[in-house]
Amino acid sequence: MSIISDSLKRIKPSPTIAVTQKARELRAAGKDVIGLGAGEPDFDTPDNIKSAAIKAIKKGDTKYTAVDGTPALKKAIIAKFKRENRLNYSADQITVGTGGKQVLYNAFMATLNKGDEVIIPAPFWVSYPDMVLLAGGKPKIVKCTEQEGFKLTAEKLKKAISKKTKWVIINSPSNPTGAGYSKKEIQDLGKVLIKNKKIHILSDDIYEHVRYDNFKFFTIAQIPKLKDRTLTMNGVSKSYAMTGWRIGYAAGPRDIIKAIGKIQSQSTSNPSSISQAAAVEALNGKQDFIKTRSNAFKARRNFVVKSLNSIKGINCLIPNGAFYVFPSCKGLLNKKTKLKTDTNFVQKLLEKENVAVVQGSAFGLDGYFRISYATSMQNLNKAMKRIKSFCETLNK
């Protein structure tokens, strides 16, 4: 008899982490691998944030803190929501976790009962369904097509809702597609949800500040009738290049926030005291570098999209935000190329050209692959040449 729990058998390891690890192993073996799998800014954490962490260490802020965040960080988060989203919260409506991932995991563990459904638009971030499964819930995947901009429509949301629906997830800008929901699109979804009063909304806003072409960010909690049913998750990982600091946060209904704290008190307890001090500076300090870095990401995005769309058999939409593109490789999956799936495509690309990307099926939509352009233009230039060479060989 296996000692491993049945709940663990329901899930799989993160495909994006697996691709990144594979790239590391190949590099260690001497291969010239270009990894385009990691969702991590290649920029460094700004100096003022580093200095705040060093100052905290020197002051002796190295002890346990309140389980769900220091008063100083909660105050900074409250100010952020008011300043940037025109949303008012009190300290008991805020929770801080060890990364946004923990906040989401805790939310599902705290609220889902066996058979509860969570509506997840696909393409989705790889961890959503597995978190729901671990918590005993049931992911209800709604496929959103390229023609729909990879976004959930009000009509599809309406059809997906059942008596068992407990949550719906909205991620804008999105991982893996970079698609952003306009204010009107959010409001259209909101009209459906206002009528379904028992459903809660989980808004994943982690890429809020990584957006382009004057795309205006709007989060669903800004709809007054839905604020009390919305858990808005955000963090410092992407906007402030602080992935390794592991600080995520959320604002929402008091009962859910309290339940999340209860889960956290019996798992990790508080996030790092030093990381929290750094996050205070991130949220309260200068923000001008965010636009500068977004402009750099935009230049990379434009280069990658143009390069991919010049390749026969590849088609790529222009994303509104984040640092991913989600091109179609359907034109190269046929008898001539001997490639049947997007998984075959990415495996052969890595084998033949040493470029690591992630298959679209890992995100719930077959026939695509995800590229993270959070790397240097030099790497992207080399990678695009290799991808083109690989595809041209397939097309011969």
Residue-wise DSSP of 260-323: HHHHHHTTT-SPPHHHHHHHHHHHHS--HHHHHHHHHHHHHHHHHHHHHHTSTT-B-PPPSBTT
Q: 264 is written with which tokens?
A: 């956290």
Given this model, what pLDDT does residue 83 score? 98
Class of residue 175 by CB neighbours under 10 A (exposed 0-12, middle 13-18, buried 19+): buried
Q: Is the pLDDT of residue 240 over 90?
A: yes
Identify the residue with better confidence: 84 or 1. Answer: 84
Residue among 396, 327, 343 nearest 123 (CA): 327
- The whole-number average pLDDT for the span 69-89 is 98
The helix (H) or strand (E) run that includes residue 200 is strand 200-204
Residue among 36, 39, 11, 41 nearest 22 (CA): 36
Q: Is the pLDDT of residue 19 over 80?
A: no
Q: Is the pLDDT of residue 118 over 80?
A: yes
The dihedral region occupied by 55, where left means phi > 0, alpha psi between -120 and 50, and beta the remainder, is alpha
Q: What is the pLDDT of residues 263-315, one digit of tens each?
A: 999 999 999 999 999 999 999 999 999 999 999 999 999 999 999 999 999 99
Q: Look at residue 12 and give its three-state secondary structure.
A: coil
Given this model, what pLDDT does residue 176 score? 98
The dihedral built from the CA positions of residue 200, 206, 208 and 212, taken in this order, carries a sign that is negative
Least confident of 23-27, 62-66, 71-75, 220-224: 23-27
Given this model, what pLDDT does residue 160 score? 98
Q: What is the DSSP letter of 351?
A: H
Q: Look at residue 34 and give its three-state secondary structure.
A: strand
What is the secondary structure of 111-149 as a DSSP string?
H--TT-EEEEEES--THHHHHHHHTT-EEEEEE--GGGT
Q: 357 is written with which tokens?
A: 């990307």
The percentage of the chain sitting over the pLDDT mark of 70, rounded to a whole number, equals 100
The percentage of the chain sitting over the pLDDT mark of 90, rounded to a whole number, equals 90
Given this model, what pLDDT does residue 26 score? 81
Give the Cα separation of 284 and 49 in Å (integer): 10
The dihedral region occupied by 63, where left means phi > 0, alpha psi between -120 and 50, and beta the remainder, is beta
Given this model, what pLDDT does residue 67 score? 98
Give the Cα separation of 193 and 209 in Å (integer): 26
- The whole-number average pLDDT for the span 1-11 is 82
Least confident of 12-21, 131-140, 167-176, 307-316: 12-21
Give the Cα separation of 379 and 340 in Å (integer): 28
Q: What is the pLDDT of residues 144-181, one digit of tens each?
A: 999 999 999 999 999 999 999 999 999 999 999 999 99
Least confident of 73-82, 257-266, 342-351, 383-392: 342-351
* Contact status, residue 36 vs residue 375, Cβ threshold 8 Å: yes
- The whole-number average pLDDT for the span 235-247 is 97
The full set of domains in the chain, from first to last, is 6-44+289-395 (3.90.1150.10), 62-284 (3.40.640.10)
Given this model, what pLDDT does residue 181 score? 98
Q: 297 is written with which tokens?
A: 């990401």
- Model's pTM, two decimal places? 0.95
Q: 386 is written with which tokens?
A: 């290799």
